[in-house]
Amino acid sequence: MNILRLLWSRFVLFERGLTPLQICIVYVVLGSAWILFSDRALLALVPEPSLWARLSTYKGFFFILISAGLLYGLISRLTYQLRQSEVSLAERVRQLSCLYEISNAALVPNRSLDETLTQIADHLPTAFPKPKQVCARITVDGREYGNTASADCHWRQSAGVTVRAQPRGTVEIGGADEPTSLHPQARQHADRGLIEAVAREIASVVERHDVRLSERRLHEQLAHADRLASIGMMAASIAHEVNNPLTTMKALIHALRDERPTDDPRRNDYTIVLDEIDKLKTLILRFMQFARPGQLRLAPMNLADTLGRIADLIGPQAQTKNLTIERRFDPGCGQVRADGTQIGQVILNILLNAIDETPDDGTIRLTADAPGRDTVRVSIWNSGVALPADLREQIFEPFFTTKAAGTGLGLSIARIIVEKHGGHIRAEGHASGGTSFYITLPKSPGESIDADNSGR
């Protein structure tokens, strides 16, 4: 009886590896053995001593039969575990091969982010036994990559793509509920580990792409700074070589025009020439202001008063188009420490542009508020056509203009002046119509500006 209990305890450890039919056979054998090997049961069923003696001789046979059944169950269990290990190993090999191909695709130089993510999405189904029945989808910054057209795809696993603690997208794998020899929990665990590894790899790809973009922007900014330095040298030369001859030409042509009689039709030609010379001198002056901005003369300035004077100044010009100029000044703006002349030049230039862009009977809104404790903001909105998104930065580039007779330097000079004050300027077109310019200034510019001025 002790031997039977020992064998029974061993059998319980492995019964989960048996099929239902095998479990039933073993239970029948164990039950029969328990009845046959129990002396009390034999005495109760077979009271005749001679028959009981003959049956007891078969105890060894039944013991061997029970041992064989238990051994068969043990072998079945081990066979099942071996088969599961082989399947799991094959799954792991496929997944590692897939991750290897994905890593190689991620390290290809001089390839765009779209091409890399597309190739990763194409490689992802190869980690499964039937790749054609598996679909994969990668979403990064709102753009999707991969095969998502199959109607049989039932998404079952996903992982987030996180770059520097910021969510950037997801990775999803799925397909038809195909039969697999791997246990469902093991299958789910394997899929989860794979997709999380792929998500980490994609996050690395996106981060490297962001770094390359930052480096490219930095190089562009350095190139822009070099161009500005070259423009500064050119401006000095142009001012010396062109401005003085233009002044002489203007004086001589003015004298020639005065010599003509009042009714001489050629006086009008001289006037046209003088106007063109004035345009050239204005262009040279703006060129000089762009290349060599004047020294800042910081002083307390009442922002609301400055904006009011400028609005009054452009009032007559706005009336020619029957424009309405709305003023909304927050009393919290107070005083700022700035160069009133240069800041006034910036606001005046933007307001004049707003008058040009606003249709007749339109509206221009001039607003000043204090969004922060240490900053003030001036916004200028006009009811004209909304500025396209691709021009929001381009309009601040030197020599870029949308006007037929523009120089393309007004907004470039405005940005330089605002940035020298430690602020920033931006433009935005609204879907509802109109364009706004936002100028943000510190109430008290930093000491670096003062130090820069003192060294000039």
Q: What is the pLDDT of residues 64-103, one digit of tens each?
A: 666 676 667 667 767 877 887 777 777 778 778 888 888 8
Using one digit for the tens of pLDDT, what is the confidence trace for 204-217? 888 888 888 888 88
Q: CATH homologous superfamily of domain 95-217? A: GAF domain (3.30.450.40)
Per-residue model confidence (pLDDT) at position 179: 42
Q: Say if residue 9's pLDDT is above 60.
A: no
The pLDDT mean for the chain works out to: 76
Strands 134-140 and 166-175: antiparallel
d(CA 377, CA 140): 35
**Domain coordinates in residue numbering, the chain:** 2-87, 95-217, 225-291, 299-454
Mean pLDDT of 291-304: 78
Q: pLDDT higher for 416 or 447? A: 416
The CATH fold of domain 225-291: Helix Hairpins (1.10.287)
Highest mean pLDDT among 254-258, 275-279, 312-316, 325-329: 325-329
d(CA 102, CA 124): 8
Per-residue pLDDT band at 172 (split at 50, 70, 90): confident
Per-residue model confidence (pLDDT) at position 45: 54
Q: pLDDT higher for 152 or 287? A: 287
Nearest to 418 by CA among 355, 339, 333: 339
Q: In what order do the strands lie in the sheet with 154-163?
A: 143-146, 134-140, 166-175, 154-163
Per-residue pLDDT band at 32 (split at 50, 70, 90): low
Mean pLDDT of 218-222: 80
Per-residue model confidence (pLDDT) at position 377: 92
165 φ/ψ sector (left φ>0, alpha ψ -120 to 50, else beta): left
Half-sphere CA count of 128, side-chain side, radius 13 A: 24
Q: Say if residue 4's pLDDT is above 50.
A: no
| H helix intervals, 260-408 | 266-291, 303-319, 340-357
Tell me the CATH architecture of domain 299-454.
2-Layer Sandwich (3.30)
Per-residue pLDDT band at 183 (split at 50, 70, 90): very low
186: Cβ contacts below 8 Å, ≥ 6 apart: 84, 88
Cβ atoms of residues 303 and 439 within 8 Å: no
Q: Say if residue 1's pLDDT is above 50.
A: no
d(CA 439, CA 300): 18
Instruction: Give per-residue burial for 252-287: e unless 16+ CB within 10 Å, then b.
Output: ebeeebeeeeeeeeeeeebeebeeebeeeeeebebb
